[in-house]
Structure 1
Amino acid sequence: MKINTYENRLLAVLFLGFGFVFFDRLALSFLFPFVAKDLDLNNSHLGMLSSVLALAWAISGITLGAYADRKDSKKYILILSVIGFTVCSALSGMVTSFLSLLFFRALMGIAEGPVLPISQSLLVAASAPKRRGLNVGIVNATAPGLIGAVLAPPILIWLATEYGWRSAFYATIIPGLVIAALMLLVVRNKHVHADVDMGHSIGNKGDIKALLKNRNVVLCVLIACFYISWFITIVSFTPTYLMEVKGFTPETMGNVMTSLGFAWAIWGFLIPGLSDRFGRKPTLIFFTVIATCCPMVLLYVDDASTMLPLIFLTYTGLGCFAIFMVAIPAETVSSTQVATALGLIMGVGEIVGGFVTPVLAGFAADAYGLDIVMWIAAGGSVIALLLSFMLTETAPVKVGKPVALATP
C-alpha cells in the first residue's frame, strides 16, 4: 500500500472518529434546554456537567497519551476508547437525576481523553510534511466542526423535539460502533517514525518531565488553558444564552449553532493549511485576534440574520487549535513523544479551560447574568493571543527541511 493511500484512508477514519467525539461531547449543550426542564437543572449544573467531563478527559488524555507512546501499537487503545465513549453517551439517556448524569459524563470523558493525542500522533506519522498542518487541522477542527457542530444541532434538536431528549442520546450508539469497526479495518497496528534533519533526539517514551523543559511545549500548554476557556465557554453557554437572553426559538438557536459549526469546519482546515504556507506563529496570532470578536458578536448583535454571517467570520479559534495543540508541538518534540506532548497540552488545557472555567462561568452567570460568560470567553482569547507572540516558529516552510515522519 502506498503511503499516500494509507494517509488518506487514515485521515478519513480519524476524521469520523474525532468528529463523533464532539458529536457526543456537545450533545448535552444542544439538548440542555430540554434536559433542564425534565431534571430541574440550572446554569450552575450545566457548568459542572461540562467541567466534570473536561476534568476526566484531561486526566485520561495526559495519562493514556503517555501510556500509548510507550506501546508499539496504539490501535486498540483508540478503538476501545471509541466504544467506551459511545456506550456512555447512549447511557446518558437513562439518567433520572443530576448526579447520575454527572456520573455518565465523567465516564465519557475518561473514554474520550486519549482519542485526540493518539489519533493525531498516528496522523502526524503518516502525513507528508507539506500536508501536516492541513491534515491535523482537518481532524482537529474540521471534523468536530462539521460532525459535532453542523450536523449535531439539527439532528439532536429534531430528535429531542419529536421523540424526546433521551432518544437523542440513545441514537448515538450506532454510528459510534460503526466507526470503531472502521478503525479496526483501516488503522495499522504499528507505526514507525524517523527523526532527522531538525536536531530532535529520540526522547524517553512518555517522559512528561522532559517535555516541561521545552519552551514551545510550555507555551502551548498555557495557550491551551485560555483558548479552551474561550471555546468551552462559548459552546457550553451559547444555546442557553440565545434562548434565554436573546429570546430565540429552539430552531433559530439551532441555526446559529449550525453557523458556528460551519465556521468551525471551514476555518478548521483553512487556518492550519495557511500555516503550512505562511508559518504557524503569524497565522495563529492573526486569527486569534479575529476569534476575540466572536463573543462580542453574540453579546451585542440581537438580530439572528445579522448574527449568522458575523459568527461565521469571527469563529476562527478552532482552526488555531490545530496549530498550538498539534502542529507546533509535533514539530518541536521527538516523534516518540508526540502523543505524550499532545495529551499534556490538551489535558492541562482541559483542566483549566474545560473544568475550572465553566464552573466559574456557570456560577457567575447565575449571580450576574449570562452576559458575563461572553466576557469570560473574550478574556481567554486575549491572553492566548499575548502568549502566542512568545512562540518559536516550527513550520517547515519557515525553518528549513522538515522532520521525516514516515509510516512503512
Structure 2
Amino acid sequence: MKVNTYENRLLIVLFVCFGFVFFDRLALSFLFPFISEELNLNNSHLGMLSSTLALMWAISGATLGHYADKKESKKLILIISVLAFTLFSALSGMVTSFITLLLFRALMGVAEGPVLPISQSLLAAASTPKRRGLNMGLVNASAPGLIGAVIAPPVLIWLATTYGWRSAFYATIIPGLIIAVLIALFVRNKHAHKDIAERHAKEPHASYMSLLKNRNILLCVLISCFYISWFITLISFTPTYLMQVKGYSPETMGGIMGSLGVAWMAWGFIISALSDRFGRKPMLILFSLIATACPMVLLYVDSPSAMLPLVFLTYTGLGCFTLFMATIPAETVSAARVATALGLIMGVGELFGGFVTPTIAGFAADKYGLQIVMWIAAAGSLMATLLACFLTETAPVKKRTDEEARLAVMS
C-alpha cells in the first residue's frame, strides 16, 4: 500500500472516529434542557456532569496515552475505547437520577480519554510534513465540528422532541459499532517506532518531568488549561443560556449551536492549513484573540439573525486546539513520545479547564446568573493568547526559512 493511500485512508477513519467522540460528548449539552425538566436538575448539576466527564477524560488520556506509547500496537486500545464510550453513552439513556447519569458520564470519560492522543500520534507518524498540520487539524477540529456540532444539534434535538431524549442516547450504538469495524479493517497494527518506545518505557516516571522541562510542552499544557476552560464553559452552558436567558426556542437554539459547529469545522481546516504556510505561533495568537470575542457576541447580541454570522466569525478557538494540543507537541518531541505528550497536555488541560472551571461556572451561574459564564469563557481564551506569545515556532516551512536566512547571513 502506498504511503499516500494509507495516509488518506487513516485520515478518513480517524476523522469519523474523533468526530463521533464529540457527538457523544456534546450530546448532554444539547439534551440538557430536556433532561433537566424530567430529572429536576439545575446549572450546578450540569457543571458537575461536564466536570466529572472531563476529570475522567483527563486521567484516562494522560495514563492510557502514555501506556499506548509503550505498546507495539495502539489499534486494539483504540477499538476498545470506541466500543466502551458507545456503550456508556447509550446507557445514559436509561438513567433515572442525577447519580446514575453522573456515573455513566464518568465511565464515558474514561473510555474517550485515549482516543485523541492515540489518533493524533498515529496520524503524525503517517503524515507527510507539508500536510501534517492540515491532517491533524481535520481530525482534531473539523471532525468534531462537523459531526459533534453541526450534525449533532439538529439530530439530537429532533430525536428529543420527537421520540424523547432517551432515544437520542440509544441512537449512538450503531455508528459506534461501525467505527470500531472501520478501525479494525483500515488502521495498521504495528507501532512505527517500537524500538524507541521500548527505551522510553523504561523511564515512566521521568518521562512526564522531562516533557515539562521542554518550554513548548509546558506552555502547551498551560494554554490547554485556559483554552479548554473557554471551550467547555461555552459548549456546556450556551444551549441552556440561549433558551433560558435569551428566550430562544429549541429550534433557534439548535440553529445557533449548528452555526458554532460550522465555524468549528471551517476554522479547524483553515487555521491548520494557514499554520502550515505561515507558522503555528502567529496563527495561534491571532485566532485566539478573535475567539475571545465569541462569548461577548453571545452576551450582547440579541437578534438570532445577527448572532448566526457573528458567532461563525468569532468561534475560531477550536481551530487553535489542533496547534497547541497536537501539531506543536508532535513537532517538538520524538515520535515515540507523541501520545504521552498529547495525553499530558490534554489531561492537565481537561483537569483544570474541563473539571474545575465548569463546576465553578455552574455554581456562579446559579448565584449570579448565566451571563457570568460568558465572562469566564472570555478570560480563558485571553490567557491562552498571552501564553502563546512565548512559544517557539515548530512549523517546517518557518524553520526552513529561518535556516536559509541564517545560512545566507553566514555566507
Same fold (TM over 0.5): yes
Deviation at 1:269, TM superposition (A): 1.1
**2:200 is matched with which residue?**
204
| Cα contact 2:56–2:107 (8 A) shared by 1 | yes
| Cα contact 1:201–1:334 (8 A) shared by 2 | no
> Which letter maps to 1:316?
T
Deviation at 1:191, TM superposition (A): 3.2
Q: Is 2:55 the partner of 1:59?
A: no
Mapped to 2, the partners of 1:73 and 1:95 lie a distance apart of 35
Q: Is 2:319 the partner of 1:333?
A: no
**1:405 is matched with which residue?**
none
**What are the within-5 Å matches in structure 2 for residues 192-271 of structure 1?**
192-193=192-193, 204-205=200-201, 207-271=207-271
**1:154 is matched with which residue?**
154
| Cα contact 1:329–1:342 (8 A) shared by 2 | yes
Mapped to 1, the partners of 2:167 and 2:376 lie a distance apart of 33
> Which letter maps to 1:352?
F
Report the secondary structure of 1:73's partner residue: coil
Report the secondary structure of 1:191's partner residue: coil
Mapped to 1, the partners of 2:361 and 2:389 lie a distance apart of 27
Deviation at 1:204, TM superposition (A): 1.8
> Which letter maps to 2:200?
N
Mapped to 2, the partners of 1:194 and 1:343 lie a distance apart of 19
C-alpha distance 203-348 of structure 1, shift in aligned 2 (>3 A): farther
Mapped to 2, the partners of 1:279 and 1:170 lie a distance apart of 43
**1:386 is matched with which residue?**
386
**1:136 is matched with which residue?**
136
**Which portions of structure 1, spanning 4 or more consecutive aligned residues, are displaced by more than 4 angstroms?**
200-203
Q: Which runs of 5+ in 1 are unaligned?
A: 403-408
C-alpha distance 84-336 of structure 1, shift in aligned 2 (>3 A): same
**2:366 is matched with which residue?**
366
**What are the within-5 Å matches in structure 2 for residues 96-175 of structure 1?**
96-175=96-175
| Cα contact 1:61–1:344 (8 A) shared by 2 | yes
Deviation at 1:203, TM superposition (A): 7.0
Deviation at 1:194, TM superposition (A): 10
C-alpha distance 61-45 of structure 1, shift in aligned 2 (>3 A): same
C-alpha distance 174-401 of structure 1, shift in aligned 2 (>3 A): farther
Mapped to 1, the partners of 2:75 and 2:208 lie a distance apart of 22
Report the secondary structure of 1:400's partner residue: helix
**2:294 is matched with which residue?**
294
**What are the within-5 Å matches in structure 2 for residues 75-90 of structure 1?**
75-90=75-90
Mapped to 1, the partners of 2:347 and 2:296 lie a distance apart of 28
| Cα contact 1:202–1:335 (8 A) shared by 2 | no
| Cα contact 1:203–1:337 (8 A) shared by 2 | no
| Cα contact 1:194–1:335 (8 A) shared by 2 | no
Provide the TM-score with structure 2 as the length reference: 0.95
What whole-Å deviation, never above 9, does each CA across 1:342-380 have from its counterpart, x for those lacking one?
Answer: 000000000000000000000000000000000000000
**2:39 is matched with which residue?**
39
Mapped to 2, the partners of 1:231 and 1:125 lie a distance apart of 28
Mapped to 1, the partners of 2:180 and 2:50 lie a distance apart of 25
Q: Is 2:336 the partner of 1:323?
A: no
**2:284 is matched with which residue?**
284
Mapped to 2, the partners of 1:302 and 1:191 lie a distance apart of 52
| Cα contact 1:297–1:310 (8 A) shared by 2 | yes
Mapped to 1, the partners of 2:387 and 2:356 lie a distance apart of 20
Mapped to 2, the partners of 1:251 and 1:21 lie a distance apart of 24
Mapped to 1, the partners of 2:45 and 2:197 lie a distance apart of 47
**1:314 is matched with which residue?**
314
**1:406 is matched with which residue?**
none
| Cα contact 2:234–2:377 (8 A) shared by 1 | yes
Mapped to 2, the partners of 1:397 and 1:194 lie a distance apart of 28
| Cα contact 2:197–2:337 (8 A) shared by 1 | no
Deviation at 1:201, TM superposition (A): 12
